[in-house]
Amino acid sequence: MNGMAMDPGEPGGEPDHDIVLDARVQESIGRSLKAHYDDLVNAPVPDKFLLLLAQLEAQEKRASAGDASDERR
Amino acid sequence: MSAADFKDGLIREIPNLRAFAASLSGSMQLADDLVQDTLLKAWGNSDKFQPGTSLRAWLFTILRNTYYSLYRKRGREVQDSEGTYAERLAVRGNQESHLDLADFRTALAKLPEEQREVLIMVGATGLSYEETAEICGVAIGTIKSRVNRARTKLAELLSIGSLEDLGPDRQSAAAIQRAGPEIVRL
């Protein structure tokens, strides 16, 4: 018997027999989730993103200087 | 909002965008492509962002739409999540938590996307249920139900995979109704 077979599926997001997990299990999952995500968040950001944004900003400055206007929109 | 402020806001959100994109696509490489697309779209549509609302929620909406319209298929083809995560894991200290994290990521990758994304948004990014519902374009009740299912599924995957690590206390804790006989026998 496979637990997945009982999954009612998504349609409409029906209340799914509210299986309540033990608080310790929930807590443990919560901690792992944070550890997973924080590990990724703390990864060094590649320079290419900062370069890209600097380029976009420079482009826009040139364009608006051409328009003799420093308004963004 | 000035262009400079907007740009600073985007820069501040890059780590979160990458983390969400990696969690969604299962690949750092895809994640970075996805973040780049997201930044370009955000810049081009900056006039549509309402100052005072959550920039993170707005950017996540763009990223998510981009993922589902363009990247999902590629993600299935690449499937390098374990490899890239393993590389990252090798860099850091503490062996034991590495194993835990690796196991958790393997389990997380097995969740259906729609469950994984909401679990990440609600459980790790600081977005509210309301914001998450808006980003996904569904009702709050649906988000809650998906989060529940995601947690239950993860508990199943993790406890079956590593019962001996949990100890007797955790074994009973992990014995959720649904998993039933398999767990009790162990």
**SS3 at position B54:** coil
Residues B173, A24: Cα–Cα separation, whole Å: 7
CA distance A2 to chain B (A): 8
Task: Tell me if B22 and A40 make a contact (CB, 8 A cut-off).
Answer: yes
User: Cα–Cα distance between B153 and B141 in angstroms, integer?
Assistant: 18
Q: Does A67 touch chain B (CB under 8 A)?
A: no
Cβ separation B173–A25 shorter than 8 A: yes
The yes-or-no verdict on residue B171 having pLDDT over 50 is: no
For chain B, how many residues are written? 186
For A35, which of B101, B114, B144 is closest by C-beta distance?
B101
- Is residue B5 pLDDT above 50, yes or no? yes
C-alpha span between B147 and B123 (Å, rounded): 9
For range B43-59, the mean pLDDT: 96
Residue A59 lies in a domain: yes
In a domain, A46, yes or no: yes
Q: Domains in chain B, ordered, with CATH?
A: 1-91 (1.10.1740.10), 100-186 (1.10.10.10)
B106 and A CB contact within 8 Å: no
pLDDT in tens, A12-59: 444 445 567 788 888 889 999 999 999 999 999 999 999 999 999 999
pTM of the model: 0.76
Least confident of B21-25, B76-80, B148-152: B76-80
Closest CA–CA distance from residue B91 to any residue of chain A (Å): 11
**Is A17 part of any domain?**
no
Sign, CA dihedral A73-B1-B2-B3, equals: negative
Q: How far, in whole angstroms, is CA B148 from its chain's centroid?
A: 15
Q: Supply the pLDDT for residue B64.
A: 97
Nearest CA in chain A to B22: A40
pLDDT at position B173 is 46
Give yes or no for a contact between B35 and A49, defined as CB atoms under 8 angstroms apart. yes
Q: Residue B1 — very low, low, confident or very high, per pLDDT cuts 50/70/90?
A: confident
Q: Which range of residues forms the domain containing residue A39?
A: 22-67
Neighbours of B135 (CB within 10 A): 24
Q: What's the complex ipTM? A: 0.77
Residue B90: its pLDDT value, please?
A: 43
pLDDT digits (tens, 9 = 90+) for B101-142: 888 999 999 999 999 999 999 999 999 999 999 999 999 999
The Cα–Cα gap between B161 and A13 comes to 28
Q: Is the dihedral of CA B107, B112, B116, B119 positive or negative?
A: negative
H-helix or E-strand containing A21? none
Closest by Cα among B162, B155, B46 to B111: B155
